[in-house]
A and B are shown apart, each in its own frame.
Chain A
Amino acid sequence: MNRLVLPSTLFTALLGTSAAQAVDVHITSETIGQGYELIRSNGDVLRRSRLHQYLGLNLYDLADNGENNVFVVSQFRFDTDFGITDADTAAIPNLQNNQFSLQYLYVEARDLGWVDLRVGRQLVADDADYTMFDGALVTVHFPVYLGFDVLAGTEVKNAGYLESISTTQFELDGDGGYDDQTDEKTGIVIGASVYSDGLRDHHAKIGWRRIMTTPQTSPLGGEQSFVDMEKLFGSYHVRAHPKLHLALSGAYDLVSSVISDGRFVVRVPDLADHVDLELAYWFFTPTFEGSSIFNIFQTAPLNDVDFRVRYRVDERASAYLGAYTRFFRQGPDGNDLETDDLITDWGIRGGGKVLLGDTGRIGLDAFFQTGYGDITTLDLYGGYGFLDDTFDLSGRLTTVLFDDDVRDLLEGTSVGAEIALSYRIRDVAKFILRNEINSNDIEKVQYRVYGLVDLSFWL
Chain B
Amino acid sequence: MKILIRALAIVSLLALGAQWAIAGQENPWATPPVGRDYLPSKVIFPEQTIPLRFFHDKHLAQEIDCATCHEKALDSVSSSDQLVPVGAPGEDACQTCHDFSTGAQADPPSACETCHANYAPVWKDDRKKDDFRAVNNPPAAMILPQGHIKMNHKLHVDKGIACATCHGDLKNVQVATVANAMPVMMTCMECHDGKQASDNCRTCHIADPSGRLVQKFDSGVLKPAGHFRNDAHDDAWLANHAMTAQNDDRYCSNCHEQKYCLDCHNGVVKPFKVHPNNFVLTHPVHARRSEPSCSGCHRAQNFCLDCHKRSGVASATDFKGGGEGRAWETSKLGKFHPDGWVGTIQNGGSRGPSHHAFQAQRNIRACAACHTEKTCLTCHASGTMAGVGINPHPPSFGSSAKCKSLRATNPQMCAQCHLPVPACN
Contacts and interface: CB of A to CB of B under 8 A. Distances in A.
A12 interface: no
A140 interface: no
Contacts of A103: 258-259, 262, 266
Given A198-B193, A199-B193, A200-B189, A104 B258 contact: yes
Contact of B11 (A174, A352, A407): A352
A60 B18 contact: no
A407 B284 CA distance: 10
Nearest to A320: B235
Interface in B267-304: 267-269, 272, 276-278, 280-282, 284-286, 288-290, 292, 295-304
A130 to B, nearest CB: 7
Interface stretch (B75-83, B133-141, B370-378): B370-378
Interface in B318-339: 318-324, 327-328, 330-334, 336-338
A375 interface: yes
A158 to B, nearest CB: 9
A421 interface: no
A2 to B, nearest CB: 11
A319 B374 CA distance: 49
B8 A352 contact: yes
B266 A125 contact: no
B13 to A, nearest CB: 10
A177 B277 contact: no
A427 B243 CA distance: 30
Given A103-B262, A286-B364, A436-B277, A404 B405 contact: no
Interface string B218-237: 00000000111110101110
B35 to A, nearest CB: 11
Interface stretch (B113-121, B144-152, B411-419): B411-419
Contacts of A299: 360-361, 364
Interface residues of B, number: 155
B210 A68 contact: yes
B327 A163 contact: no
A377 B278 CA distance: 11
B68 interface: no
A42 B282 contact: no
B102 interface: no
What bracket does the count of chain A residues touching chain B fall in?
35 or more
A455 interface: no
B406 interface: yes
Nearest to A409: B333
A143 B277 CA distance: 51
A198 B195 contact: yes
Contacts of B416: 293
B402 interface: yes
Given A68-B211, A91-B323, A32 B15 contact: no
Given A297-B360, A313-B15, A337-B351, A407 B311 contact: no
Interface in A382-428: 396, 398, 400, 402-410, 414-418, 427
B179 interface: no
Nearest to B16: A313
Interface stretch (B90-98, B103-111, B153-161, B393-401): B393-401
Interface string B354-383: 100111111011011000111011000000
Contacts, number: 501
Given A42-B327, A123-B258, A237-B230, A414 B278 contact: yes
B268 A165 contact: yes
A5 interface: no
A100 interface: no
A407 B338 contact: yes
B199 interface: yes
Contacts of A191: none
Contacts of A19: none
Given A160-B302, A263-B243, A123 B261 contact: yes
A166 B299 CA distance: 11
B265 A176 contact: no
B303 A169 contact: yes
Given A169-B298, A169-B299, A438 B281 contact: yes
B420 interface: yes
Given A226-B412, A372-B288, A416 B278 contact: yes
A313 B19 contact: yes
A14 interface: no
Contacts of A377: 276
Contact of A141 (B193, B194, B405, B419): B194
A165 B280 CA distance: 16
Contacts of B406: 255-257, 290, 295-296
B138 to A, nearest CB: 29
B421 interface: yes
B421 A443 contact: no
B392 interface: yes
Interface string A245-277: 101010000111110000101010110000010
B186 A200 contact: yes
A242 B37 contact: yes
Given A173-B299, A219-B411, A364 B11 contact: yes
A319 B8 contact: yes
Given A75-B259, A163-B306, A290-B409, A297 B392 contact: yes
Contacts of B280: 38
Contacts of B258: 73, 75, 103-104, 122-123
Nearest to B252: A125
Contacts of A163: 302, 306
B240 interface: yes
B312 interface: yes
A179 B316 CA distance: 13
Interface in B1-58: 1, 3-4, 7-8, 10-12, 14-16, 18-19, 22, 37-38, 42
Given A245-B226, A333-B394, A56 B299 contact: no
A58 B304 CA distance: 32
Contacts of B71: none
Contacts of B390: 334
A437 B37 CA distance: 47
Contacts of B419: 219
Contacts of A336: 395
Contacts of A318: 15, 234-235
Nearest to B275: A398
Interface string A226-238: 1110100001110
Contact of B277 (A235, A249, A366, A417): A417
B248 interface: yes
Contact of B365 (A95, A173, A409, A427): A173
A80 interface: no
B330 A42 contact: yes
A40 B281 CA distance: 11
B332 A409 contact: yes
Contacts of A172: 299
A291 interface: yes
Contacts of B296: 130
Contacts of B14: 317, 352, 354, 362
6 contacts: A41-B328, A169-B267, A296-B393, A410-B333, A418-B272, A442-B333
Given A41-B311, A58-B257, A364-B8, 16 more contacts: A38-B280, A198-B194, A200-B190, A247-B247, A256-B406, A257-B402, A280-B240, A298-B361, A300-B362, A318-B15, A334-B397, A350-B8, A352-B15, A362-B14, A396-B277, A417-B277
8 tightest A-B contacts by CB? A416-B277, A317-B15, A159-B302, A198-B194, A290-B410, A352-B11, A298-B394, A242-B37
